[in-house]
Amino acid sequence: MKSLSFLVEPSRQARRPAVLLALAVLGATMTAQQEGPKAKGDDSLELQAARAKSMSTRGHAVTYAPTWDLSGLPHYVPKEEVTGTIRMWGSNYVGDGDLGRYWEAGFKRYHPTIRFEYHLKAPAAAVPALYTGVADVGPSRKITFEELLAFQRIFNYDPTEISYATGAFDVPGWNPAFVIAISKDNPVQRLSMKQLDGIFGAERTGGWLGTSWHAEFARGPEENIRTWGQLGATGEWADKSITPYGLNLRYHQATEIADLFLKGSDKWNEKIRFYANYVRPDGKLGRSLWADLVKDPYGIAYVAGGTNGLPPQEKVIPIAVNDGGPYIMPSIETVHDRSYPLTDEVWMYMNKAPGKPLDPKVREYITYILSQEGQTEVMRDGKYLPLTAEVARSMLQKIADPPQK
């Protein structure tokens, strides 16, 4: 079977303008994610090489032993046999691991003449490839503001968005759950989402839902939480200032956290300390967030990666959607069933006009992915977590053919 590598067929001359446009958009997007303007000594390409090596090594590992009962998910029953080529641009994680190959082999058992064309280098390529017409399916992290705005302005509708798996519990790169870490000596035992907003956020005039501004998300400075005493800590902790830690604002994780905590406002605590990956002298990826946090007993961090790498001086605390609970600890079980509020997920994007059917080969492929057979392959790959039956069925409704008139 072919490796899921970056393929461009030179013979398809008619597609060259669209391919070039997609590459230009991808280049602009990836440039915007770098640390700053290119300067002497810039090591961004070294960082990309170190990242690629790390992801490739991690991609073939099966990282969890539990298996879930998937009998509640629908079996895949083809509506029709399809042919042709499914063009997939986007997330490297589908190709770095074995999941893409598993899906291709499984789908071909039902549709033996179907072909796949893979361009899996970065999630940032998924949506631009859709709106430039070179992709049929785009696996990605959550769509960004700029990507959604561009798609809306070109087509006057939203892309179809399908959650194809739940993010990993603790596998870096595979959209792991976010956790909140504080010192083991800290008397605070749990937090709500509103309290996290108070800690990590600031006063605001509103926030974003998609590309729409909502003034009702405004809040004043009186809801800021800046000392541990405001969270019920007493004694020596009562007047100690909170120092929040997080990930660089140019990383998509910071945007996801802003959407979760800060109502999409991007208004952060003025004292937050942000961290990014860098290349260590040994050529591997590094990030100094944990090293600095353990030196700061009054710090608090949101981290993407479950409990992976958690220092012994720190603890992870349960989180509640609402004040008063229930407060849920992150675990592979609570991430899988999505009861843990900071669970992440991964997405497939497609271009489906309202009231129009999806391309049959794409509909069949996504139906397969959302089926018991497709989610068994997610579990076999052992990094992302399979969907629950409830989530899978809700996603299937999004790709259903419109009712006949």
Would you say 314 and 182 are in contact if contact means Cβ atoms under 8 Å apart? yes
* Torsion sign across C-alpha atoms 116, 117, 121, 127: negative
pLDDT of residue 155: 98
pLDDT of residue 34: 39
Read off the tokens for 336: 């899988």
Does the predicted TM-score (pTM) go above 0.75? yes
Q: Can you tell me the mean pLDDT for 235-253? A: 93
With a cut of 70, say whether residue 81 has pLDDT above it: yes
pLDDT-based confidence at 393, cuts 50/70/90? very high
Read off the tokens for 255: 């945007």
Q: Do domains 13-168+345-399 and 178-336 have the same CATH topology?
A: yes
Cβ partners under 8 Å of residue 286, min gap 6: 277, 278, 279, 280
With a cut of 90, say whether residue 375 has pLDDT above it: yes
pLDDT of residue 25: 47
Read off the tokens for 295: 């030196």
pLDDT-based confidence at 218, cuts 50/70/90? very high
Coil, strand or helix: which one is 227?
strand
With a cut of 70, say whether residue 7 has pLDDT above it: no
CA–CA gap between residue 73 and residue 59 (Å, rounded): 26
Residue of higher predicted confidence among 54 and 192: 192
Q: Can you tell me the mean pLDDT for 126-137? A: 98
The CATH-assigned architecture of domain 13-168+345-399 is: 3-Layer(aba) Sandwich (3.40)
pLDDT-based confidence at 223, cuts 50/70/90? very high
Residue 45 neighbours by CB distance under 10 Å = 11
CA–CA gap between residue 31 and residue 131 (Å, rounded): 19
pLDDT-based confidence at 206, cuts 50/70/90? very high
pLDDT-based confidence at 287, cuts 50/70/90? low
Q: What residues are paired with 275 via a beta bridge?
A: 247
Average pLDDT for the chain: 88
Alpha helices in 83-237 (DSSP H): 93-96, 99-108, 126-131, 145-155, 193-200
pLDDT of residue 13: 42
Assign a CATH topology to domain 178-336. D-Maltodextrin-Binding Protein; domain 2 (3.40.190)
pLDDT of residue 20: 46
Percent of the chain with pLDDT over 70: 83
Strands of 160-166's sheet in order across: 138-140, 345-350, 160-166
With a cut of 90, say whether residue 160 has pLDDT above it: yes
What burial letters (b/e) apply to 119-143, b meaning 16+ CB within 10 Å?
Answer: bbbbbbbbbbbbbbbbbbbbbbbbb
pLDDT-based confidence at 22, cuts 50/70/90? very low
Q: Where are the domains of the chain?
A: 13-168+345-399, 178-336
pLDDT-based confidence at 335, cuts 50/70/90? very high
pLDDT of residue 144: 95
